[in-house]
Structure 1
Amino acid sequence: MPESYTGKHAWLQIQSLLNSINHLLIFLVAAFYFILARSLEFKDTAMHMFLCGTGFHVLMAQAMMSHYKINPLTRWLSHRNKSRYHAVLQIVGSAMILLGAAGKFSNKDVHFNTWHGRIGAVATLGCVAGILGGFVNYFQPKFALKIHPVSELRFRHNAGGIVTFTFGMAAIYLGYYSKFFTKYVDNEFIPAMMLVTVLVYVLSVIAPVASLLPKLRYRRAKKAESAK
């Protein structure tokens, strides 16, 4: 058996293991957010935490992995159905995030006075842009194709999704420093949640980054050709 084939097979096995670990971590996070919010009767900040945390840490993370070829939840789907699965997760996740952000905004007198709030606001706006960009990328209306080719639409949606997910997970990470978490969660447990958030982020962006790189190379090549 060629050495290159053996190495490639081993890398796929490692990716499969990491992906399984990621799904387990996401499930544990979902359970934790639900139990904590339920214990506080889903009131005020507890509801904000549940909606935004579940939206980003669970649904958006799964949406990021929807086209991952070793993802056991989607690998049996066709490319078109993977796109539909991705769209459903993105829309539901974004709706939860928007509701969570709106609820928090209406309950506070002072806004964006913390880095958690500022970064969270950028992530929320990114969700709106992501939904709009997703519709354009999926349906590819003629007016959009007159402005950008299909390859550029896909590149921008891919890159925008990574950026929005990065801001969202950063906001969640900073949220662990908030008064809400330090009051209702064992302070010795918070570092474990921080670690889980970092791991879920890293493991979830493997597929979209791998998809973005060839798009970026193609984009640079096209620009180089246009410049000649």
Structure 2
Amino acid sequence: MALTTNHKDDFDAEKIKNSKEMLVPAEDSDVKLKTFNNSLNILSHILIGCTVAISVLYTFREGTMSATRMHIILCVLGYQLLMAESILSLSPHNSWSSSLKLVHKRRAHWILQILGSGLAIAGSIIIYMHKTVHWNTLHGQFALVAVVFTCVSFINGLSSLYAYELRRFIPGILSKITHILFGTVAFVTASISLCYGFDKRSFRNWSTSEMADTFIAFTAIFTFVIIVNPLIVFFDKTVKSFRR
């Protein structure tokens, strides 16, 4: 879930270094706060890499490639890698996209969004077709919420991307606010579902209970770091919309 911007909107990732739309408000001269922001970004990338790597290793453990294993790798790559990077791509502190122009950041955002949504939805369909009983666990229930909001956010993202062109039919601020909200819900519920996946007996037996708890903590930390900025933007835009 993620942020989608338009060149006609007030939000400009290149011009918000002194606004509340940063992870932590800071001035260019404040090296400590800039370092803190950059450190959080680097930490989130490290934790994402570790979490995706352990999931891939678990998927390719000894045995045949089953529907469950395909579900794991597609959903983890879709949600925790591509969608996470899609959200981070719009952050002014993101390591690989901070030097890009806004138009290129937006392009990277929707490309990652399309790829991530596609993988996640495909992984969900595979496990749905494989199982006969559905959504009887917290893992499955949160996964269902994640898929629903992923689809809604993807469709809503189109109206947000073309907010200026569609302003006669849909208020631009409304499409952007709802896109942020739906995307955030999708990403958070996907991470919660992954945490319940790490808590499954099969994963704990393959790794250890300590390792499972570690990756649950990793997922919680990078999810929190990633969604802080979108939530700040969400509340900021919501307050501004009521003041108009």
Partner in structure 2 of residue 169 of structure 1: 191
TM-score norm. by structure 1 comes to 0.88
Moved more, 213-222 or 14-23: 213-222
SS at match of 2:98: coil
Partner in structure 2 of residue 14 of structure 1: 36
In the superposition, relative to structure 1, how do residues 122 and 19 fare at CA in structure 2: closer, same or farther (>3 Å)?
same
> One-letter code of the match for 2:45?
H
Choose which of 86, 91, 105 in structure 1 pairs with 2:128: 105
How far 1:163 sits from its partner (Å)? 1.4
Query: Distance in 2 between the 1:32 and 1:186 partners?
Result: 12
Query: Distance in 1 between the 2:65 and 2:30 partners?
Result: 47
Deviations 1:72-99 (A, max 9, x none): 1111111121111111111111111111
How far 1:6 sits from its partner (Å)? 8.7
Choose which of 65, 72, 87 in structure 1 pairs with 2:88: 65
Unaligned runs of 5+ residues in structure 2 are 1-25
Query: Distance in 2 between the 1:25 and 1:48 partners?
Result: 21
Q: Is the 8 A contact 2:164 2:172 kept in 1?
A: no
Query: Distance in 2 between the 1:183 and 1:102 partners?
Result: 26
Query: Distance in 1 between the 2:163 and 2:27 partners?
Result: 38
Q: Report runs of 4+ in structure 1 exceeding 6 Å deviation.
A: none
- Does residue 55 in structure 1 map to residue 78 in structure 2? yes
Partner in structure 2 of residue 116 of structure 1: 139
Q: Is the 8 A contact 1:33 1:54 kept in 2?
A: no
Q: In the TM superposition, what are the counterparts of 1:168-207 in structure 2 within 5 Å?
A: 168-207=190-229
The structure richer in helix per residue is 1
Choose which of 118, 126, 133 in structure 1 pairs with 2:156: 133
TM-score norm. by structure 2 comes to 0.82
Q: Which has the higher contact order (CA 8 A, sep 6+)?
A: 2
Q: Is the 8 A contact 1:67 1:207 kept in 2?
A: no
Aligned residues: 218
What is the RMSD of the two structures over their aligned residues, measured on CA atoms? 2.0
How far 1:38 sits from its partner (Å)? 1.7
Q: Is the 8 A contact 1:65 1:208 kept in 2?
A: no
Q: Is the 8 A contact 1:49 1:100 kept in 2?
A: yes
Partner in structure 1 of residue 67 of structure 2: 44
Query: Distance in 2 between the 1:8 and 1:208 partners?
Result: 23
Query: Distance in 1 between the 2:72 and 2:134 partners?
Result: 16
**Percent identity over paired residues:** 22
Choose which of 71, 80, 93 in structure 1 pairs with 2:116: 93
Query: Distance in 1 between the 2:164 and 2:238 partners?
Result: 23
Query: Distance in 1 between the 2:27 and 2:191 partners?
Result: 35
Q: Is the 8 A contact 1:65 1:207 kept in 2?
A: no
In the superposition, relative to structure 1, how do residues 196 and 145 fare at CA in structure 2: closer, same or farther (>3 Å)?
same
